[in-house]
Amino acid sequence: MTTEISIHAVHEGGMRVTAGDNKHQVTMDYPMHPGDVSAGLTPLKTLLVSLAACSLSTLNLVLTKMKQPVDGLEVEAHALRRQKHPTVLTGISLAFTVTGSAVDRLAVERAIKIAESELCPVWNMLKSSTPIHATFQLVEKPIAPIAKS
């Protein structure tokens, strides 16, 4: 079964494009000269944002289903871009930070693998053409002491 996804994009001049659906819009731009002010993220940065958001929300979903005591999730996404045209991404790293009390390291490893191999469509599409390396760190959030009455 397939579902259609539709986006409408409008060229706004220069390298600037506004795109979106009926509810949400995003502006992308590509400064042509050093020092030019950009009106938005470049399309490649927007692609990296899509991977970061998809992987993070998927990781949250899986860790929640695993009943892990996660209080916060973050990801730093970095990519290498080839300088020669087409200037594609040649490698991506995802560094996840998982905050919580007694979060199981093995559960996080498994959740990242599930996100990469089964649930995050952006990661799944990109990994066939671009190596993606994921790491994580656990940040222990101390359990608040119970106040005595």
In terms of domains, do 16 and 60 share one?
Answer: no
Helices (H), the chain: 43-65, 105-114, 121-126
Residue 146 has pLDDT above 90, yes or no: no
Is 16 a domain residue? Answer: yes
In terms of domains, do 19 and 91 share one?
Answer: no
Q: How confident is the model at residue 132 (pLDDT cuts 50, 70, 90)?
A: very high
pLDDT tens, 33-74? 888 899 999 999 999 999 999 999 999 999 999 999 999 999
Q: Residue 84: give the domain boundaries.
A: 43-140
How many distinct structural domains can be found in the chain? 2
Work out the percent of the chain whose per-residue pLDDT is above 90. Answer: 89
In terms of domains, do 90 and 32 share one?
Answer: no
pLDDT at 144 (0 to 100): 67
Is 25 a domain residue? Answer: yes
Is 84 a domain residue? Answer: yes
Q: What Å distances lie between residue 52 and 29, 121, 122, 148, CA to CA? A: 19, 12, 9, 42
Best CA proximity match to 104, nearest among 70, 75, 129:
70
Sign of the torsion formed by the C-alpha atoms of 18, 19, 24 and 30: negative
Rounded Cα distance, 87 and 60, in Å: 32
pLDDT at 93 (0 to 100): 98
Rounded Cα distance, 101 and 99, in Å: 7
The mean per-residue pLDDT over the stretch 101-126 comes to: 97
- Give the strands of the sheet with 89-100, arranged side by side: 70-81, 89-100, 132-140
19's tokens: 């795109």
The mean per-residue pLDDT over the stretch 93-121 comes to: 97
pLDDT tens, 2-16? 999 999 999 999 999
